[in-house]
A and B are shown apart, each in its own frame.
Chain A
Amino acid sequence: MRLEAIRQALAALAVTEEVEVVKIIPAPKPAEGEEAAKPTEVREKVSQTMLFTPDYKKKGFHLDIKVLSAELPAAAQVLIDQGFFLEAITGVDWPKERQIEVVYDFSHWAELCRVVIRTRTDRDQPEVPTISHIYSGANWHERETHDFFGVKFSGHPDLSPFLLPDDADYHPLRKDFKA
């Protein structure tokens, strides 16, 4: 199975994050005649590897991995060696967390296997390394993401405005952009 192979190959690149989990501890059985105590909620920080295999029918993809931005070229290299092609690159703005998420969609010709690679970068100075030297098609997708979100792709040959006018100094898909 290609999914299992690619999951193992990419597992080392996935980040481990502290995730807050709410645990509900049921109250101990009350002694006779006493009122039952309420269950207590405990918020715990659990470290979790950010690699998920979601239900394809519900989500539309098979593998969802979060990596450090520095690991993106390594992840892209693994995917192209396995024969994956790049569907698209895009961003998502998360102003509350002061972060911009960059999402990479990959798919495969021979077997149905959709892989999503995501990374987060600082919203004030967004910068991630380019993968355009691995996937030539990434060149345009990265230029578009730079236009819309202001993400700088370090090592990209030409980040001049692409779909926006030549003098554009705004990034329209950021949540605080108002036309």
Chain B
Amino acid sequence: MNAPVTDRHPAVLDRTAETFVLNLGPQHPATHGVLRVKLTMDGEYIVHAEPVLGYIHRMHEKMAENRTWAQFMPNMGRLDYLAALSYNHGYAMAAERAEGIEVPERAEYIRCITVELNRIASHLLWFGAFVLDLGGFTPLLYAFDDREQILDLLESVTGARLTFCYFRFGGVYNDIDDNFITGARAFIKRLRSRMPMYHDLVTKNIILIKRLKDIGPISQEMCRRYGATGPVLRGSGVSFDVRKHEPYSVYPEFDFDIPVYHECDSMARYMVRMDEMEQSMRIIEQGLDKLPDGPVMAAKAPKILKPAKGDYYAAVEAARGSFGIRVVSDGTNTPYRLKLRSPTFSNLSLFSEACQGMILPDALALMGTLDLVIPEIDR
């Protein structure tokens, strides 16, 4: 058995020591997709890490220039396939802002409810996969069992289980029914009863605590320099959430909190996501209670969009941070330029600096807390 590592803070390395290059990925299970990291190692310690991207780069931004505004919506399900509805939402908001379309209130409520369900599904999958990274297999099976309920619910209204294309410019394409509402309430009841089990089984587990507590520090200053957002930033003590900071849709109508932890370590980022699931459940409950009657599509929404010339920006809080879209319109029926600002692109960019001097297993735990989805980084 190895000797216990007592000093878990990043080591100050002897730069003259002999090093070797270790290739992590692009097919390594811990990198969750096709991410490759070129690691320069000094024994067990990381001297330098260089993420290598582009294995699943599909050039969505060029695709946008070759099709109409509405035809690009299916692409939004293929960026972050674990929380695709947030990306639907961001793109719909950008186009609606450019064209000046008003969305009916019921549609906005449905959008928030489904986006929050999708956020819980994403966090549940992250929870399972992350604990699997650390060597615990069982929680993954429980988490997938719960996530399955959400996928069934969302399938009943959106028609898809993963790559959602549910929002339209001016609303959503399908109204929710009573089955969905009772199903969502039953799911919340179920997950509320399961959360204490997750905390007993995993959060209070001594192995998990030893692997995460005080490991992988990310300071606020580093977050600012790299533009990190989402749970990574909130685990570093900054209360920044686009839903509160830049209120959109009907989020101002809901009473919910932004979980913030000040420890800046991997445990803090773990706790932020676990607490966010409860907050999302609060939003869904309030949304179902307040759900107004009415149409789910704006009556006068144009079929073909031709926004006025100019730049437009829209941002939403996706499951992994602030997702932004900058569109440049030249007045025709296709976007002239469309930029996708993906949160994990910025979050991963700090990995190289943050993991210096760490031992490899700790760096993998740190990478897990960044919650990477590679198709969204490569786009």
Contact = CB atoms under 8 A, between A and B. Distances in A.
B54 A163 contact: yes
From DSSP, what is the main secondary structure of chain B's interface residues? mixed
Contacts of A59: 97, 310-313
Given A164-B57, A172-B62, A58 B227 contact: no
B191 interface: no
Contacts, number: 104
B97 A58 contact: yes
B159 to A, nearest CB: 30
B311 A85 contact: no
Contacts of B326: 88, 90, 103, 105
Interface string B237-281: 010100001100000000000000000000000000000000000
B206 interface: no
Contact of A136 (B225, B240, B345): B225
B205 interface: no
B350 interface: yes
Most B CB within 10 A of own CB, among A92, A116, A140: A140
A59 B62 CA distance: 22
Contact of A163 (B311, B313, B341, B378): B378
Given A105-B324, A163-B57, A60 B378 contact: no
A129 interface: no
A114 interface: yes
A136 B313 contact: no
Contacts of B94: 60
Contacts of A93: 337
Interface string A136-173: 11011000000010000000000001111100000011
A74 B345 CA distance: 25
Nearest to B324: A87
A137 B346 contact: yes
A169 B341 CA distance: 24
- Give the contact-size bracket for chain B: 35 or more
B54 A162 contact: yes
Contacts of A105: 313, 324, 326, 341
A148 to B, nearest CB: 8
B240 A87 contact: no
A140 B310 contact: no
B54 A165 contact: yes
Interface string B324-350: 101010000000110101000110011
B313 A140 contact: no
Contacts of B224: 80, 83, 85, 109
Given A59-B312, A87-B322, A137-B226, A92 B328 contact: yes
A80 B220 CA distance: 13
B134 interface: no
A87 B227 CA distance: 6
B30 interface: no
Contacts of A92: 328, 336-337
Contacts of A114: 313
Given A105-B341, A140-B345, A85 B227 contact: yes
Given A114-B313, A136-B353, A172 B227 contact: no
Given A109-B238, A165-B54, A137 B339 contact: no
Most A CB within 10 A of own CB, among B227, B240, B245, B345: B227
B349 A139 contact: yes
A178 to B, nearest CB: 10
Contacts of B225: 80, 85, 135-137
Given A80-B225, A83-B224, 9 more contacts: A58-B97, A86-B346, A87-B322, A88-B324, A109-B245, A137-B226, A140-B345, A173-B337, A177-B62
Interface of B: 53-54, 57, 59, 61-62, 94, 97, 100, 222-228, 233, 238, 240, 245-246, 310-315, 322, 324, 326, 328, 336-337, 339, 341, 345-346, 349-350, 353, 378-379
16 contacts: A59-B97, A60-B97, A60-B313, A83-B224, A85-B225, A87-B315, A87-B322, A92-B337, A105-B313, A135-B226, A136-B222, A137-B227, A162-B53, A162-B54, A164-B54, A173-B61
